[in-house]
Amino acid sequence: MARKVVDALIAINKFDCPLMIALTSIDLNPRFYNINVSESKVTHILAIEGGDVKRLTRIAGRLGLKVRYIDTRGGIIWIENYAPCSFCRILFSLGGVPLSLDLNDKKVPLYRILLPSRRSFLAMREKLEASGLEPQLLRAGYRLRVARLTPMQMRALVIAYENGFFDFPKRVNLEALSKMLGVKPSTLDEILRRGLRKLVEEYIAREEPIRL
């Protein structure tokens, strides 16, 4: 049975992520491509305007974060945090996945997330408030009604769609998209193919009775 998946945009006014704290205290202008959250690690994939990644690398090193370059010419880097912040721990515990991350004009982190149900969405709001993170819900709605997609498949398909991977001609190719998602092109190709197969199967298998 298909289920409703919640797509929400939340501002976190009080945060304990060391990377966010560092970025809000300096004059670098980051552009976040992606954020991957697991139980023991959070990977931020971002670019620094002007390609000045050396300064951020030094700051990350002082914070105990691991830095891995993807594209030094474009200033795109991975920053890995092996002590997930409160927001990411709560999101992961409820089966949610992040779609995007940005900083607004006041340098407040804006997280766009997918949560598997309305119940998990309400639970997340409650947990965020209880943790003292001062969440502010900016937007929420039902995004998908597909039951069999994994969180990774959901996230990959949405990001691919919104970045023009399915446009003709494509606005982003598989290699560029794989950098945004932090996976190998061959891995991303498999994720997208499996996800698309499930979508097609569900659409083709769906049957509605005709009233005679």
3-state secondary structure at position 212? coil
Rounded to the nearest 10 degrees, how much is the dihedral formed by the CA atoms of 26, 32, 38, 42?
Answer: -20
- Write the pLDDT tens digit of every residue in 127-150: 999 999 999 999 998 875 665 788
Q: How far is Cα 187 from Cα 205, in angstroms, rounded to an integer?
A: 27
pLDDT along the chain (212 residues), means of 10: 77 94 82 87 84 79 85 77 95 92 92 90 95 95 71 86 91 88 91 92 69 61
- Model pLDDT, residue 93: 95
| Phi and psi at residue 73, to the nearest 5° | -65, -35
- Model pLDDT, residue 207: 62
| Phi and psi at residue 32, to the nearest 5° | -85, 125
- Model pLDDT, residue 148: 77
Beta bridge partners of 112: 9, 100
Query: What number of other Cβ atoms are within 10 A of residue 128's Cβ?
Result: 21
- Model pLDDT, residue 133: 96
